[in-house]
Amino acid sequence: MSGPAIILVRPQLSENIGTAARAMLNCGLTDMRIVAPREGWLSEKAIASASGADRVLLSARIFEQTKDAVADLNRVWATTGRDRYMTKPVDTPREAAAHMRMAESKGQRFGVLFGPERTGLENDDVAVADTVLTVPLNPDYCSLNLAQAVLLVSYEWHQGGVEGSLPPMTKGSEGPAAKEKLIFFFEHLERELDACGFLRVPDKRPVMVRNIRNMFQRANLTGQEIQTLHGIVHELVTYRHKKGKVESP
């Protein structure tokens, strides 16, 4: 499978392993490796926490030492939030993802080390990595749980392979209405704005009309939306007329 191996070093809670598996599968990653897990790590809590990503858990490979878990990899990143006083390059998750894509293009295999929830990786674990991976967060509070850290790294990897972008707004199967319908609505609205006195200043009227039309043009209205706007204007006018009759002596 493509993508980084996610290597959990001495994880403490089985449910955290499950949520890490869920984060991985959200981003299309399936190569989970676990170093020295506690006995009974593949528990009901782990499977429940995986929320359907239990196939990642069931295919996870177990290793006794970190060096064994990374033996087949060409590049390794070690996640840490503190200075280890080692001479190593440092990547953010986004930078690491870009370097991973480059490694993949060369046919290399790579992975990311994540340490125990309470203490993080030991220095000996970091020493087997080529690069340190640090998430730039609030310096006064940069604590992440295991699944959050896995998701951040996995997401940046996944985003590097997503082409294009999502549409800014979903309109269903109906596209923007024909201009004929839009102009008919403009004329309806402007008649009522004239009648209520909103467009009462002759010198300002052309500019105000253009501004109003431009606001609605930017909305890319569908035919159904235009019909709704017609209904709104109609009801406002009807209410105004009824109110006028009630208040007249």
Q: What is the pLDDT of residues 36-53, one digit of tens each?
A: 999 989 989 999 999 999
CA distance 243 to 158: 59
Q: E-assigned strands of the chain?
A: 5-9, 32-35, 61-63, 75-79, 90-91, 110-114, 131-133
pLDDT at 169: 54
Strands 61-63 and 5-9, by their bridges, are unpaired
pLDDT at 71: 93
Q: Which two tokens stand for residue 121?
A: 């990786």
Q: Is the pLDDT at 35 greater than 90, yes or no? A: yes
* Residue 216 CB contacts under 8 Å (≥ 6 apart), including other chains: 182, 185, 186, 229
Quickly tell me which residue has 């280890």 as its tokens: 84
pTM higher than 0.85: no
Rounded alpha-carbon distances, angstroms, from residue 25 to 19, 50, 206:
10, 9, 56
Contact 134, 92 (CB under 8 A): yes
3-state secondary structure of 70: coil
Which stretch of 91-95, 162-166, 190-194 has the lowest confidence by average pLDDT? 162-166
Q: Which two tokens stand for residue 188?
A: 């309806």
Among 78, 88, 34, 85, which Cα is nearest to 56's? 34
How does the average pLDDT of the chain come out, rounded?
88
Strand order through the sheet with 131-133: 61-63, 32-35, 5-9, 110-114, 75-79, 131-133, 90-91
- Phi/psi of residue 230, each to 5°? -55, -45
Taking the CB of residue 21, how many other CB atoms lie within 10 A of it?
31
Q: Which two tokens stand for residue 55?
A: 């196939």
Mean pLDDT of 188-199: 92
| Amino acid sitting at position 44 | E
Q: Is the dihedral of CA 9, 12, 13, 14 positive or negative?
A: positive
Q: Is 120 left (phi over 0), alpha (psi -120 to 50) or beta?
A: left
Q: Is the pLDDT at 8 greater than 60, yes or no? A: yes
pLDDT tens track for 83-140: 766 778 899 999 999 999 999 999 999 999 999 888 888 888 988 898 999 998 888 8
Contact 188, 213 (CB under 8 A): no
